[in-house]
Amino acid sequence: MTIGSIIVTAIKPAMELLPAAMHTPQAHVMLLATGLQESRLEHRYQVVQGRPGVKGPARGFWQFELGTQASRGGVWGVYLHEASRYWLSIVCAARGVAFEPRAIWERLETDDVLAAAVARLLMFTDPQRLPAVEDEEGAWQLYLRTWRPGAWARGSAQQRSDLRAKWARNHAQAEASASWDFA
C-alpha cells in the first residue's frame, strides 16, 4: 500500500470515529512513521523471519500484540487504559467488532480502520503531548514509550543503531507526507 492509500482508507476513516482533537498532523506523522517502522505498511501480521507463512503474535499494520490483562500491554493495554477505553468501545461498535481484547486483536489483521484507531488510541494513553511534526527525536521517544519494541529492549548495540536509523528514515518519509486536508 502507498502512504496516500493508507491515509485515505485507514487513517482518515479512523480519525472520523475519534474526537476531532485527535485528528492532527502530528498524529498522522506518528501513525505513518510507526506503521512504516512496524510493518512497512505492507504486513497485516507479524512476519516471522525464516518461517514463511507463520504468523507472529502481532496484528495489523501497527503490529499490536494481544498482551495480557496483567501486563497491560498491546490490545489489553488500550482496552484497560482509562484514557482510551471509552473511545475504543465507540470504535468497536462502529466497526462491528465485539468490545473484547481477543476479538479486537483478531480483527486488526483485516480491518485497517480499526488498526489505525487502536494505534492512535495507544498514543493517546501517553501522558505527554504528541511531538511536533518535525520533532523526529520526540517522535522516537514516544514510539519507544508506547510500542516498546523488543528489538530495542533486547537488541545489540548494532541492532539498536539500525533500528534508530530506520526510524529516522521512516519519520522523514512520514513528515514529507504531512500535507493533509483537515477540513
Q: What is the pLDDT of residues 77-115, one digit of tens each?
A: 999 999 999 999 999 999 999 999 999 999 999 999 999
pLDDT value at position 162?
96
37 contacts 168 by C-beta, under 8 angstroms: no
Whether the predicted pLDDT of 182 surpasses 70 = no
Higher pLDDT, 115 or 182: 115
Domain that holds residue 103: 3-176
Phi, psi of 56 (to 5 degrees): -75, -175
Q: Report pTM.
A: 0.94
Instruction: Judge whether 31 lies within some domain.
Output: yes
Separation of alpha carbons 36 and 50, rounded Å: 21
Which of 24-38, 148-162, 167-181 has the highest mean predicted lDDT (pLDDT)? 24-38
Whether the predicted pLDDT of 179 surpasses 70 = no
pLDDT value at position 1?
76
Instruction: Judge whether 181 lies within some domain.
Output: no
Instruction: Judge whether 182 lies within some domain.
Output: no
Phi-psi region of 146 (alpha: psi -120 to 50; beta: other; left: phi over 0): alpha
Instruction: Judge whether 158 lies within some domain.
Output: yes
pLDDT value at position 150?
87
How many distinct structural domains can be found in the chain? 1
3-state secondary structure of 90: helix
